[in-house]
């Protein structure tokens, strides 16, 4: 498979499956010397309300600020656990609000991504038989190649 110059887009829902996808994406981006973009779509999922925990010191903190802090911690922990993935340190982080499937595809198209990396099953309590619903929807809705990783 020949890589283009476009970036690799790693979509994360902050789950262990999406961490595995992020590490895979970082290694791929490093091997082909292309940029890595990490995207997290902020939304309040019906099947997991309150995912963005309220800050006890500031209960009025906007969901986006909490999500940004969670994403920063997620990436920092991934860097700590995988110091060989040097491209993670220079990766662009995007935090967007909306419906995950639509925003992941829009971002991939807008950035000219050559590949989308996602976990196969996310943090959702409601899961499809083999693939998470967001991953399945992205695969069905884009012509950009999608790699799906799974823990376990």
Structure tokens of 9?
């887009």
Q: What is the pTM of this model?
A: 0.86
| Pair 133, 142: CB distance under 8 Å | no
The DSSP bridge partners found for residue 36 are 8
Give the 3-state secondary structure of residue 1. coil
Q: Give residue 61's pLDDT band: very low, low, confident or very high (50, 70, 90).
A: confident
Given this model, what pLDDT does residue 122 score?
54
Q: Give residue 59's pLDDT band: very low, low, confident or very high (50, 70, 90).
A: low
Given this model, what pLDDT does residue 50 score?
64
Asked whether residue 59 is assigned to any structural domain, the reply reads yes
Asked whether residue 1 is assigned to any structural domain, the reply reads no
Q: Give residue 149's pLDDT band: very low, low, confident or very high (50, 70, 90).
A: confident
Q: How many domains does the chain have?
A: 1
Asked whether residue 2 is assigned to any structural domain, the reply reads no
CA distance 144 to 112: 9
Asked whether residue 105 is assigned to any structural domain, the reply reads yes
CA distance 107 to 125: 26
Given this model, what pLDDT does residue 66 score?
87
Asked whether residue 121 is assigned to any structural domain, the reply reads yes
Structure tokens of 26?
């970082």
Domain containing 18 — which CATH number?
Answer: 3.40.50.620
State which residues form the domain around 112. Answer: 8-149
């Amino acid at each position: 498979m020949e890589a283009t110059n476009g970036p690799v887009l790693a979509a994360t829902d902050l789950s262990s499956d999406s961490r595995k996808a992020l590490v895979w994406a970082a290694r791929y981006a490093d091997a082909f010397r292309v940029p890595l973009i990490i995207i997290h779509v902020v939304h309040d999922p019906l099947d997991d309300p309150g995912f963005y925990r309220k800050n006890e010191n500031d209960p009025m903190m906007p969901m986006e600020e909490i999500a940004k802090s969670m994403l920063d911690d997620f990436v920092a922990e991934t860097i700590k656990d995988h110091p060989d993935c040097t491209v993670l340190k220079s990766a662009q982080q995007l935090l967007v609000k909306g419906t995950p499937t639509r925003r992941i595809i829009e971002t991939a198209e807008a950035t000219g991504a050559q590949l989308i990396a996602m976990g196969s099953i996310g943090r959702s309590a409601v899961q499809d038989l083999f693939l998470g619903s967001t991953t399945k929807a992205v695969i069905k809705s884009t012509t950009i190649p999608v790699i799906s990783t799974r823990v376990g």
